[in-house]
Amino acid sequence: MRELILAESAGFCFGVQRSVEMADSLLDTYGAVSCLGELIHNEEVVSELRARGLRIIASAGEAAAGEHVMLRAHGVAESVYRELEQRGARIHDATCPKVVYIHKIVSKARDAGEFVLIVGMRQHPEVEAICGWCGAHEVVETPEELASWLEMHPEIWSQPVTLVVQTTQTNKNFVDCCKIAKKICTNLKIYDTICFATSTRQKEAAELASRCDAMVVIGGKHSANSLHLAEICRKHCSHVQFIERAEELELDMLRFADTVGITAGASTPAWIIKEVRNKMDENKIEKEQSFDEMLEESLKQIYNGERVSGVVVAITNTEISVDLGTKYSGFIPTSEFTDDGVKVEDAVKVGDTIEAVVVRVNDVEGTAMLSKKRLDAVKAWSDVEEAAESGAVVEGVITETNKGGVVANVRGVRVFIPASQTDLPREADLNEMIRKTVRMKITEVNKARKRVVGSIRRVAQAERRERVESIWNEIEVGKRYHGVVKSLTSYGAFVDIGGIDGMVHVSELSWGRIHQPSEVVSVGDEIDVYVINFDKEKRKISLGYKDPEGNPWAVFTGKYAVGDVAEVKIVKLMDFGAFAEIVPGVDGLIHISQIANRRIGKPGDVLTVGDVVEAKITAIDDEKHKVSLSIRALSEPAPVAREEAPVEDEPAAEDDALVYEVSADGVATGNAPEDDAE
């Protein structure tokens, strides 16, 4: 074999990568974690995680109360989830968001009384989990099986039917099943739930297998997506090896092949792919040429526009000399090397092999002018066209702005990105994007007009959707997030915690007395928050910001008791008394009868807001967070000249001392105690 080609999409998909990273994190944090079933279909990865403390359990019944239990990317049935909750297990859900989406579809169909058809491998964990969220359902593996089953169940033909497909199924199998179902079922809804990454990997495997002499597919023997990859490759290539690790590779079977392609399933880690490739690299052989073949090669005629390859033999300030192995002496002017501004001597050295395109042939002098820059442009156009067809994400650097948007350089190709597709607010300054590297999808290619259009927004939206699904799958009360304040209202602050906005109510921003959220936070602030409550159905999250350990009531009760004397500050005067701050966040009421040892008309006759006085704590209501204070208790009683009759309707000090309105945090609102006094 002379050439090895590795598929770009080979290896871990998003869901598998996410579950392995979660397992790593949980093991680092807790040391011992259980997983319901094998985490992924790869023995090497599972064995490594077991050695670090991952325990594999076969059922929810094996989980103990308080035990950390991971749900793998394949997901579990709804009943399993509920059983784990009932057993008191601490659930860490790594179910792939694509699979969660299928669960939502079939559970909605179940609630609506619809029959569900599932196209997939009957005993695959993902399919078994999907069945656990259905009502009436049937699993079919092939179009033939579907046709046979429908023929035997005519009662289904007119019923409402929902059809979904396993995320790792081949597109052909799904399409063929849909054609049959459409012909027979008159009330059918079809959901294409094949993972985009799976479709891309399968399409790439088919294309690679069709142009290679042999294919090597790396993946678990029980992995559905790996089995499908091997099946697809065998349809396009007669020599396919399906292996799990480098030790299984049969190199003798590959020596006949000039070109060998490598692809890998979604559960195959990068290090196994690297091991296989290294083993193949070590055994690469070069095809020997006879003297006649070499002579014929040296006399070969070359033409303008032809792609050639040669070895750099000299570099000067003006050109690069290239040995093409023919009668022509090739040279690349430095102006035809690159447009990237890179120095030639930094990019290429004598002895390097270089590819270029022939610009002009001089048969008289036996020279050929070459251009690497033009070849790069051709390759770049090809890459851009492929990206437009496959929907792949590409990177580019913003080089300029214009009236309608910005221009990015993607491998030498100018890509126009309309302002509406930059993912920036309408009023944003586009000049701030210049020289920034961005990720985008190609939405339009017109080679004749040399026009390429891209969208940053599509990539950002897809990534936001994945982050949002990840947050909703993992959210729990008490979980902490680092977020950014997006907006303020009179009643609270909205905080972005990674694609989802949660609200921090004004009462949860501070233990102290505040009137507006802007007194504590500003738009753009980065803050740490924690989940107080959430509603997955309504997509609402309530967040807390104030530290529970700084609860002013806890500070107050830890410092004072009934009978203690405290230095307090008068903060508000009312007709029935005065409110005084004991500690920041906790106010007490000094009833009008407890302000002085004589009768007064109103609190303002004796006190002024801002006064600092000593008062005795006469009562504490822990349940309602109310405190009663008395200045009078610290004063000597005034001399009584004569006995006075009690004043009608004057409230008794002890009875009414605690009757006033405060907030949930113990801060006085200043509202008169009309309802309670009755």
Residues with a catalytic annotation lie at: 126
Token readout for 448 is: 């004749």
Backbone dihedral region for residue 209 (phi beyond 0: left; psi -120 to 50: alpha; all else: beta): alpha
Pick from 91, 101, 98: nearest CA to 475 = 91
CA distance to 21, 314, 638, 644, 646, per residue, from 641 (Å): 84, 121, 9, 9, 15
CA distance to 152, 304, 338, per residue, from 155 (Å): 9, 69, 68
Which phi and psi angles does 563 have, rounded to 5°?
100, -20
DSSP codes joined into one string, 38-100 = -SSS-HHHHHHHHHTTEEEESSGGGPPTT-EEEEPTT---HHHHHHHHHTT-EEEE---HHHH
Pick from 424, 415, 421, 419: nearest CA to 444 = 415
Token readout for 523 is: 């738009």
Sheet strand arrangement including 90-93: 54-57, 33-36, 68-71, 90-93
Token readout for 352 is: 């390097």
Regarding beta strands 3-6 and 259-264, do their DSSP bridges make them parallel or antiparallel, or are they unpaired? parallel
CA distance to 22, 80, 284, per residue, from 64 (Å): 20, 14, 53
**Residue found by looking up tokens 């979660």 in the block:** 22
Give the chain's largest Cα–Cα span: 139
Expressed in angstroms, the distance from the first to the final Cα of the chain is 96
User: Residue 409, class by beta-carbon neighbours within 10 Å (0-12 exposed, 13-18 middle, 19+ buried)?
Assistant: middle
Q: Is 635 in a helix, a strand, or coil?
A: coil
What is the CA angle 231-235-238, rounded to 5?
105
Provide the 8-state DSSP code for 477. Answer: T
Instruction: State the DSSP H helix or E strand holding residue 200, giving kind and residue range, or none if neither.
Output: helix 196-210
CA distance 372 to 568: 82
Pick from 42, 46, 50: nearest CA to 218 = 42
User: Residue 561, class by beta-carbon neighbours within 10 Å (0-12 exposed, 13-18 middle, 19+ buried)?
Assistant: exposed
CA distance 330 to 358: 9
Pick from 51, 63, 52: nearest CA to 91 = 63
Token readout for 344 is: 């030639």
Long-range contacts of 363-368 (CB under 8 A, 24+ apart): 366/327, 366/328, 366/329, 367/328, 367/329, 367/330, 367/331, 368/302, 368/308, 368/324, 368/328, 368/329, 368/330, 368/331
